Amino acid sequence: MKTIVLFIRNANLKMNVIRTLMKNEFYYIEAANTEELIIKLDLSKDASLLIMDYSKEEQETDLTALVQANLQQLPILWIMPDEDMFQLSGEIKQYLTDIILTPFNEQTMLRKINAIISIQENRARTRIKATRDTKLSASQSDKVMTAMESAIRGRYPICFIRLNIADAFMELNLHLLDKLKATLRQSDQIIEIDLGEFLILCPYTPLQSLKVVETKILDAIYPIVRDAISNPDVQIYGTSYPDEIKSYYELISNLANEVS
């Protein structure tokens, strides 16, 4: 069931919105103040939409709720009078999915709600499919670990870089995966272990150069993480297994076949 979170302070406006939602069989929950809204956003993981109205006096506290909704990838439909548009701060605008100006009719609101929810559902299906297509299954992970252990025992010249981003979510993972693919060389292998966890396999890299590679990766992904997560925690660690060069590209080829 589609859940819509309501935070509407104008009593008449709230009754009109609720009447539209009930008539069209939308399930909704209400918040009476900003503190309650943040709690309900945190509890409503399956919510499809947040509908808020404009309050000139509470723009600063509203921004806190908008940031929280944005972190949960929750779209926001903002209701406000036409004459107040010029007073809306740029900080708030960047978090809004759509704006509906008062006065409006039921069909206008219904059209906007359905459009936003439809886009959200399509994005969710795309993310699930992309994750299913790129993420390793348990059996594939076992094969990767076996290949890694063989490389270490065989003293192949290979380097492993482990990247971990705390509190990552599905859409962020896809952005990071795309960025890593664009940043690294074609010969490097990127293995998505879990949300925010990646393992990168590349040719043997001396310690000094390894630090350069780690910095290159961090410089590429950090702006993306910083925009998506407040106080981001990004950890990266690389280690090489040098000695004799035997058949690195054969190892990579076998590894690719194992996880394909």
pLDDT per residue as tens digits for the range 116-127: 888 877 776 766
Residues 232, 115, single domain; the answer is no
d(Cα 71, Cα 182) in Å, to the nearest integer?
25
Residues 208, 107, single domain; the answer is no
pLDDT at 244: 42
In the predicted structure, residue 137 carries a pLDDT above the cut 60 = no
Q: Which of 169, 128, 224, 174 is closest to 45 using CA atoms? A: 169
Q: Which of 83, 41, 33 is closest to 66 using CA atoms? A: 41
Q: In what order do the strands lie in the sheet with 3-7?
A: 27-30, 3-7, 47-53, 76-81, 98-102
Domain boundary pick from 132, 165, 199: 132
What's the structural domain count of the chain? 2
pLDDT at 258: 47
Residues 99, 177, single domain; the answer is no
> How many C-beta neighbours within 10 Å does residue 145 have?
11
**pLDDT tier at 85 (50, 70, 90 boundaries)?**
confident
CATH number of 194's domain: 3.30.70.270
In the predicted structure, residue 37 carries a pLDDT above the cut 80 = yes
Q: Look up residue 142 and give its amino acid.
A: D
- Lowest mean pLDDT: which of 92-101, 109-118, 152-161, 185-194? 152-161
Residues 139, 124, single domain; the answer is no
Tokens, residue 227? 């925009």
In the predicted structure, residue 96 carries a pLDDT above the cut 60 = yes
Residues 232, 151, single domain; the answer is yes
d(Cα 204, Cα 183) in Å, to the nearest integer?
18
In the predicted structure, residue 260 carries a pLDDT above the cut 60 = no
- Domain range enclosing 141: 135-259
Residues 7, 128, single domain; the answer is yes
Residues 15, 78, single domain; the answer is yes
Between 92 and 159, whose confidence is greater?
A: 92
Domain boundary pick from 90, 115, 132: 132
d(Cα 178, Cα 193) in Å, to the nearest integer?
15
pLDDT at 7: 93
CATH number of 64's domain: 3.40.50.2300
Residues 211, 149, single domain; the answer is yes
How far, in Å, are 49, 97, 106 from residue 12 at the CA level?
21, 23, 14
The pTM assigned to this predicted structure is 0.51
Mind listing the pLDDT tens digit for each residue in 234-251?
A: 999 887 655 443 454 555
What residue spans of 184-206 are helical by DSSP H? none
- Give the rounded percent of residues in the chain with a pLDDT score beyond 90: 22
Crossing angle of helices 34-43 and 59-71, in 10° steps, is 0
Residues 27, 128, single domain; the answer is yes
What is the average pLDDT value for the chain, to the nearest integer? 79
Length of the chain: 260
Domain boundary pick from 115, 132, 149: 132
Residues 115, 162, single domain; the answer is no
- Lowest mean pLDDT: which of 102-111, 118-127, 216-225? 118-127
